[in-house]
Chains A and B, each alone.
Chain A
Amino acid sequence: MSKQTLTLRFLRRALALSAVGAAAALGAGGAAAQETFKVGIVSFLSGQAAESFGIPAVNGAKVVIAAFNAGTAPAPYNKVGFGGMKIEPVYVDENGGATKQVQELRNLYDREKVDAVVGYVGSGDCLAVAPVAEELKKFLILYDCGTPRIFEDGKYNYVFRTASHATMDNVALARYLKARNVKIESFNLINQDYAWGQDSRKDFIWSLEKIYPGAKPGEDLLPKFGAGQYGTEISALMAKPADVTHSSLWGGDLQAFILQSAPRGLFKRTQMVFSAADHVLPGLGEKMPDGVILGARGAYGLMSPKSALNDWWWNLYEKEYKVYPVQAPYRMVQSLMGLKLAVEKAMAANGGKKPTHEQLAAALTGLEWDSPAGRIRMALGDGHQAVQDTAIGKTRYDAAKKMVMIDDIQRFPADCVNPPANMKSEEWIKAGFPGAKCP
């Protein structure tokens, strides 16, 4: 046998082995590519909270998950899906009350076998589902609800909230009023009669007690959620006019309140301050009175910071839905970005395998990441509750642009308007905001 024949044989064998190896590698790669990460996404798809919060948030999830799956998001979110696994969302309607949500959450984990759940707008729903996820030892991200009670009254290993709680909104409002030298000798309140409204009301009252020690509360109205008719409440607010009127109304309730109170001149008699109102601006347009001070529960929408990541997100959403993103989709995208980084961090520590619920929880605890609204830090609740920067501004209708603009925007760093890790919101506010780092 000649030397040339031996060489040819060797080459053929090598080629065959390479082909088998390549096929095996391709096969393995194909299997990895086929693995998916199933995420249950729970938000209001029907009912009174659908229009303002639920559907915009789900719309945000859809575009950003599509971008993640296509690998077109900017770094550090540019890996396909979650660490190479395609994201498979399962959307669930939050409408129907807390009891139904508890059952739906169990269904997501037990029947749908989701790897994580991201959800819940309603504070009552969050308070109901958090202990259930903990009991089941399943990973849960609360992306929207505002009540501070979740991690201040409870301790969780598997539950996280990737947005600041409502204390930030009301402390920031009070600080904004002081910074703008708004005279406050008296103030009225109108908030919905459930966890969100009650907590917002208390935080604002306590904040004003510290920042405006002489200010006296007047009318303190608590209409039910979904009241729709506010004629009597408006009369009560007008009968006892105050320098400032605070409200955490949102969605259809807020829109109805504005539509009914503006023609009656309420906005001319008092400085209206809304803690979570940016989402009604695109729809209301010129019907939104000028000079209303409002927050968005974060530096969202028209008050969002300038950054490449925010530009990417804004364009992605606006191109798809022909309207700019407001607070709900911002909060959804920041939770999905946090989840993505947590999954990829857990996979890196786990030899590239899909992480368990425990590994996911460990990866998200205390994590920090950049979102379109700025830096998110899981700094409270033993690393389970996020803090973030926020912003407050004042409305002005721009007739040329045919949209409501927000002027006089003031940004508040997270450490200025959120309590420190070792204090509850109530203690922190009542103690005069110890440790607050404001510029």
Chain B
Amino acid sequence: MPSVLTILIDGLTYASWLFIVALGLTLVFGVLKILNMAHGSFYALGAYAAASFVGWIASMKMAPAFSLVAMLFAAVAVAAILAPLTERGLLRFFYGRDEVLLVLVTYAMFLIMEDVTKLIWGANPYYVSEPYSLFGSVDIGHQTYVGYDFALLALAIVTGLAVWWGLNRTRHGKIVLAVIHSAEVASSMGVNVSRVYMLAFSVGIFLAAIGGAFTAPMISVQPGVSVGVIIVSFAVVIIGGLGSIEGAAIGALIVGLARSLAVHIAPVAELFSIYIVMALVLMFRPEGLFQRIQARKI
């Protein structure tokens, strides 16, 4: 019988990885009302960019600690270059149209980006596991954990708090909230809504990319890494409520713990556990745990 502590730790570390990615997904939906099917592709780009930058750090014989800076820089680079380009160059032309159309547009982006990634980095895998050993390992009970997993947990907490604080405690955040409530009213009060959209989309993409960048040391970065993460991330934001930061945090925790419990107690129900939780939540809260019921605009 596994210890409760083991189940908790495994659930938390899985949830932290999920939360970082799902947070970006829910932020983009909350502000722009876009269900971004290409979110996983930005995650993959973050992983590839991190692999390239960390590889460069290693080739320059720099201290391994610099690889953490390189991973952060990779995420910033992906968001700074690609997010404005995508939002201004493509997505804005579809605002005001049916939301399903935007889903199809981002799905097309996902397919295109899969091939573009392969064109740039090829099909061979990239291994950048050096940062994975930077934090050593920790023995807890009969288990040995890699310190990096706990660093990822810290990163998730810091990221979540930073986004929450930025939205709720800063002037810019309040402007974003105003746009979320009503873009028309915010615009009539002098808010540059297009700029808010672009910045919110960039932050969302940064979160996807940083998720990918900090996952890169744990996996082999190769075609297809974008697919696995996006499906579970959708489950997280649906449980938590689309557009809710608190919801993403609680959703990630629920999914992480449910999965951990299933793997330790009833492995055959691993996948089932995530989606049964989602189904149960939707039965009683069809809008998710934290999404407020909104008045229909006529």
Q: Could you tell me which A residues sit within 8 Å of B by CB distance?
A: 46-51, 55, 193, 219-224, 226-229, 231-233, 235-236, 238-239, 252, 255-256, 259-260, 263-265, 283-284, 287
A50 to B222, CA, bound (A): 9
In whole angstroms, how far apart are the Cα atoms of A265 and B144 in the complex? 7
Q: Are B17 and A229 in contact (CB under 8 A)?
A: yes
What's the Cα separation between A51 and B126 when bound, in Å? Answer: 11
Let me know if A252 and B224 touch, CB within 8 A: yes
- Min Cβ gap A98→B in Å is 16
Closest residue of chain A to B224 (Cβ to Cβ) is A48
A50 touches B2 (CB 8 A): no
CB distance from A163 to the nearest CB of B (A): 22
B52 interface residue, CB < 8 Å from A?
Answer: no
B223 with A259: CB separation less than 8 A = no
Which of A219, A239, A284 is close to B127, meaning CB atoms less than 8 Å apart?
A284
A–B Cβ pairs within 8 angstroms, 5 of them = A48-B227, A231-B10, A252-B219, A256-B219, A256-B220
Cβ 8 A contact of B144, one of A55, A224, A229, A238:
A238
Q: Give the CA-CA distance A203 to B268 in the complex, in Å.
A: 18
Q: Are the CB atoms of A239 and B143 closer together than 8 Å? A: yes
User: Is B26 at the interface (CB under 8 A from chain A)?
Assistant: no
Q: Enumerate chain B residues within 8 angstroms of A49, measured Cβ to Cβ.
A: 224
The minimal Cβ–Cβ distance linking B152 to chain A, given in whole angstroms, is 10
For A232, give its contact among B3, B10, B125, B144 (CB under 8 Å): B10
By a CB distance below 8 angstroms, the chain A residues around B228 are 48, 226-228
A397 to chain B, nearest CB (A): 14
B103 within 8 A of partner (CB): no
Interface, chain B (partner A; CB < 8 A): 2-3, 6, 9-11, 13-14, 17, 114-115, 118, 123-125, 127, 129, 132-133, 137, 142-146, 149, 215, 217-220, 222-225, 227-229, 259-260, 263-264, 267-268, 270-271
Enumerate chain A residues within 8 angstroms of B129, measured Cβ to Cβ. Answer: 259, 287
For A283, the closest partner residue in chain B by CB is: B125
Answer whether A252 and B263 are a contact pair too, CB < 8 Å, given A55-B123, A264-B146, A287-B129. no
Interchain CB contact under 8 A, B220 and A283:
yes
The 9 lowest CB-CB distance pairs between A and B, nearest first, are A48-B224, A255-B220, A232-B10, A226-B228, A51-B222, A256-B219, A47-B224, A232-B263, A55-B123
Which residue from B149, B215, B217, B268 sits with its C-beta under 8 Å from A222? B268
Q: Point out the residue from B10, B223, B271 that lies within 8 Å of A50, measured CB to CB.
A: B223
User: Do residues B223 and A51 form an inter-chain contact, with CB atoms below 8 A?
Assistant: yes
**A262 — nearest CB in chain B belongs to which residue?**
B129
Q: How far is the CA of A229 from the CA of B149 in the complex (A)?
A: 11
Assuming the contacts A229-B218, A238-B142, A238-B143, asked whether A46 and B224 have C-beta atoms less than 8 A apart, the reply is: yes
Given contacts A226-B228, A252-B224, contact A232 B264 (CB under 8 A): yes
